[in-house]
Structure 1
Amino acid sequence: MSRIVFNMGWDAKTAQELISGCASESGEFEQRCFPDGETYLNVLSDVADRECVLLINGVQPDQQFLSWIYMAENLKELGATSVGMLIPYLPYMRQDIRFKPGECVTSRHFAKLISASFDWLITTDPHLHRYDALSEIYSIPTRIVPAAPAIARWIKQSVDNPVIIGPDIESQQWVQDVASLVGCSYEVLLKERSGDRDVSVSLPKRADFKGFTPVLVDDIISTGRTMANAVVNLIQCDMKAPVCIGVHPLFSDDCIALLKESGAQQVVSCNTLNHPSALIQLTEDWTEALSNQ
């Protein structure tokens, strides 16, 4: 029988495009909270002997996590042959080391809990900084759908004479891949962090970038402080107003306003999360990955 897909947080349009694109059936379920805050789940579709997929929005994971686990375990009890998750933004990847004594390395524990209830996972550009691969912490098969090809396509269509800039060393893997696909130069700046919201970013080294349009690329834009600092520095070097691109638009607080006030001409993101800035579409890429799963 065909695969059945349950939407647990994606915007309805993107979810339906993916479900139709991979010839799957849309699963029906009911979810609500009891007065005491506990979760009620009821799967209305027949899932016996069928492969099930959960489309999961990874923002605010603490508010949703138990629902993912309850859903996966319930589907298996109802006879599903397997349960996988397609979660474009994979949370709990940044705490990958114990920076201070006693800190919890949440990335490892989150991965262990997910691996216990799901059979496989598809995501996009997880924050692999101190891990070389997801297999270091996930014991289930994982697949990464890269955002670089879609970002490169958008830049080619939308930006004249681009140069790709990484706001910090952690962005190098995305910057290098995007620049290679666009066929242009790139540079990675250096960041010094004094606190969660106190960062400084180095100036570009290449003087011959002045005639180009700088495109700042990073995987996660959260507060926007690092990227805003980079925008200011680029403009001070007499470069054109930069375009800012984030793979995952977390955009907390006044992030968009901060970037615009710093001098960014445009703020763009991928549709790994539902946001008005998500002009870079990865739906076809996820559809292909799911079709081949």
Structure 2
Amino acid sequence: MDSPEEPGACLLHFADEASSAGRLAAATDLRPLAIERHRFPDGEIKLRLPVDAAGRLPRRAVLLRSLHQPNEKLVELLLAAETARALGVQSLALVAPYLAYMRQDIAFQPGEAVSQRIVGPFLGRLFDAVVTVDPHLHRIARLDEAIPGRACAVVSGAPLLADWIAAQRDAPLLLGPDAESAQWVAQAAARHVFESAVCSKTRHGDRQVAVTLPDVFLRGRSVVLLD
């Protein structure tokens, strides 16, 4: 527990996620603090963390960063996390609504980098806990298998999506594009007893994909694709 004179935990975020940070802060009583970001002409970035008058941060902090378009953001996480530790943060959690580099969990061809086994431990070295939404977990059952030794929490967006769909469509058919989506389709369908089905997918390359529709009646129906 924080002492009376010590500020509570803060929520560190970047300017492009200020809106999401505001909603998360309101729901958790965390103080939102924006990280300043500067890009040099050669592409390097410089960060400045929002310290107090003594040049410090609270002992507990949460960093919000969704990792779509991830390459540069992973560098941001490295710089921000290491700097936060140097400025007094002892417990640092990452909230990443989208968690990148989880899909490549085996080498499909000789010489391929298995990104999940590299990026997962990398995040584990930076953060004490990781929270994400519906990560790509193909051949492992739990996120802590990808980020070993750290507290990991996975939140599913399927129930909220199901509620929204129910408010927009009457008796829709939920359709998943591939086998991986079946887990989320099943969760959403069960919440409102929607009918559901899943397509089969054969991938021939990054942008060459063959999809076979399931044997269900589609004409005139309200179909919601859930992936």
- 3-state DSSP class of the match of 1:83? strand
The size of the alignment, in residue pairs, is: 217
1:180, distance to aligned residue in structure 2 (A): 0.5
- Report if the CA contact (8 A) 2:11-2:31 is conserved: yes
Which amino acid counterpart does residue 165 of structure 1 have in structure 2? Answer: L
Preserved CA contact (<8 Å) 1:167 1:216 = yes
The farther-off stretch of 60-69 and 116-125 is 60-69
Identify the structure with bigger relative contact order (alpha carbons < 8 Å, sequence gap 6+).
Answer: 1
The whole-number CA distance in structure 1 between the counterparts of 2:199 and 2:43 is 46
Letter of the aligned partner of 1:157 in structure 2?
A
- Change in Cα spacing, 1:9 to 1:120, as seen in structure 2 (3 Å) is farther
Q: Distance in 2 between matches of 1:199 and 1:40?
A: 40
Q: Secondary structure at 1:19's aligned position in 2?
A: helix
Asked if 1:212 corresponds to 2:218, the answer is no
Mind listing any 5+ residue stretches in structure 2 that lack a counterpart?
A: 1-6
Q: What is the TM-score of this pair, normalised by structure 2? A: 0.88
- Give the deviation of 1:132 after TM superposition: 1.2
Mapped partners of 1:93, 1:212: distance in 2? 34
Q: 1:150 aligns with which of 145, 157, 160?
A: 160
Pair 1:25-2:35 in alignment: no
How far did 1:31 drift?
2.3
For the Cα contact (< 8 Å) 1:165–1:188, is it kept in 2? Answer: yes
Deviation, structure 1 residue 203: 2.8
CA distance in 2, matches of 1:157, 1:180: 15
Distance in 1 separating the partners of 2:98 and 2:180? 17
* 8 Å Cα contact 2:11-2:21 kept in structure 1: no
State the alpha-carbon separation in 1 of the partners of residues 15 and 91 from structure 2: 20
**Aligned to 1:195, what secondary structure does the other structure show?**
coil
The residue that corresponds to 1:80 in the other structure is 89
Could you tell me which runs of 5 or more consecutive residues in structure 1 were left unpaired when the two chains were aligned: 219-293
Matched, 1:182 2:188: no
Q: Which residue of 2 aligns with 1:262?
A: none
Take 1:104 and 1:98, find their aligned partners in 2: how far apart are those partners?
7
Partner of 1:61: 70
Query: Quick one: distance in 1 between partners of 2:124 and 2:20?
Result: 26
Cα distance, 1:101 vs. partner?
Answer: 0.4
Q: Please say if 1:160 is aligned against 2:166.
A: no
Give 2:201's aligned residue.
191
State which of 33, 42, 45 in structure 2 corresponds to 1:39: 45
Q: 1:172: which partner in 2? A: 182
The percent identity for this pair of structures is 36
In structure 2, give the amino acid aligned to 1:98.
A
1:14 to 2, 17, 20: 20
Partner SS, residue 129 of structure 1: coil
Q: Which one-letter code corresponds to 1:100 in the other structure?
A: Q
**Alignment partner, residue 276 of structure 1:** none
CA distance in 2, matches of 1:40, 1:106: 26
Which whole-Å deviations, capped at 9, do the CAs of 1:220-242 have from their partners, x for residues lacking one?
xxxxxxxxxxxxxxxxxxxxxxx
